[in-house]
Amino acid sequence: MGEDNQAPEDLNKLPRELDSHTERLHSDRSARALVIQEHIGRYVFASQFVRDKTVLDVASGIGYGSHYLSKSGATLVIGADISFDAIARANKRYRREGLRFVAADATKMPFEDCTFQVVVSFETLEHIEQCETFLSECTRVLKDDGLFVCSTPNKRVSRFYKPDFHVKEFYPEEFFELVNKYFSEVSCFGQTRINLLKPNRFAAIRFKHAVRQILGDNVQKDLWSVLKVGYDRFYSLQKKNYEKNVRVQDLLKNDNFKDALRDEHKVTTFKDNFLFTTDCLVVLGTQPKKRVCD
């Protein structure tokens, strides 16, 4: 297979089912800078674990992340997604030796037991009703010494704007406890730092909720109308950077993920208190339980 072939001109003529899913990052579309930062930040984090490894990327979307992991030194990367349209786009756009894309259901994956050394799955769990079946499948296809890298929204933040297509979201303790059922060792991380003392869109949501909880809805409405003026002015410079639309393909075409990633969107040690939390929860799971490997 050729190295990094240019996407053909008929790529945009593929079926438009992809456009109905607002959480999928389209490399031939525009998106908010914040959204792109969050997506690529998770793959930058995972890339440090894949050199000379066989990797499965579950819910790989249109493939930019799988492609990045392949270029980061993985021996084999398979991107799997339930959307045939997403797989068609990935196969058209990303052609590279050691990189494959297949259509697959995350709860019934078409792979042999103990196939992969690393399983990556970002922002998948919240879309799956049978989340435990999904985690069981991940442990099944992992080798005994395999590594699981997974992320999901932090319900402590996302409960204020939960999308309709999220079937279940998790508070930090729920998510970490769930993953602990399937892996003997679990390390906890967080992404996109939220600090009430440093305004951003998530901090504003949490602050408004705190005011409502303390003062009640009626007082909150009047007080917020006053506070919001100063808060928005303080936030305006950051808002220009985070809310502006940028061309996704301009960022992804050279796979320059690390250079493009802002510090606040890097995956770091998890912290959680009243003033500080993270938008996204990330775990590393090792020593899969319920092993079937010889």
pLDDT tens track for 51-107: 999 999 999 998 989 999 999 999 999 999 999 989 998 999 899 999 999 999 999
Statement: the pTM of the whole predicted model exceeds 0.85: no
Q: Which CATH architecture has domain 9-288?
A: 3-Layer(aba) Sandwich (3.40)
Q: Do residues 37 and 261 touch, judged by C-beta distance below 8 A?
A: yes
Residue ranges covered by each domain of the chain: 9-288
**Percent of the chain, pLDDT > 70?**
59
* Rounded Cα distance, 82 and 106, in Å: 7
Query: Given pLDDT bands bounded at 50, 70 and 90, which one contains residue 204?
Result: low
User: Would you state the pLDDT for residue 16?
Assistant: 39
User: What tens digit of pLDDT does each residue of 109-164 get?
Assistant: 999 999 999 999 999 999 999 999 999 999 999 999 999 999 998 888 777 666 77
Residue type, 248: V
Ranges 116-125, 205-214, 225-234, 285-294: which has the least confidence: 225-234
What average pLDDT does the structure give for the chain?
A: 76
Q: Do residues 138 and 146 touch, judged by C-beta distance below 8 A?
A: no
Helix (H) or strand (E) holding 242: helix 217-243
Q: Do residues 286 and 147 touch, judged by C-beta distance below 8 A?
A: yes
Q: What angle do CA 45, 285, 109 make, to 5 degrees?
A: 95
User: Which parts of the chain are beta strand (E)?
Assistant: 30-32, 54-58, 76-81, 99-103, 116-122, 142-153, 183-195, 245-247, 268-269, 276-288
Backbone φ and ψ of 68, nearest 5°: -65, -40
User: Would you state the pLDDT for residue 250?
Assistant: 57
Query: Given pLDDT bands bounded at 50, 70 and 90, which one contains residue 43?
Result: very high
What secondary structure letter does DSSP report for 25? P
For the chain, the helix, strand and coil percentages under 3-state DSSP, each to the nearest 5: 40, 25, 35
Please determine, for residue 9, whether its predicted confidence score (pLDDT) is greater than 50: no
User: What tens digit of pLDDT does each residue of 74-84 get?
Assistant: 999 999 999 99
- 135 is written with which tokens? 């985690």
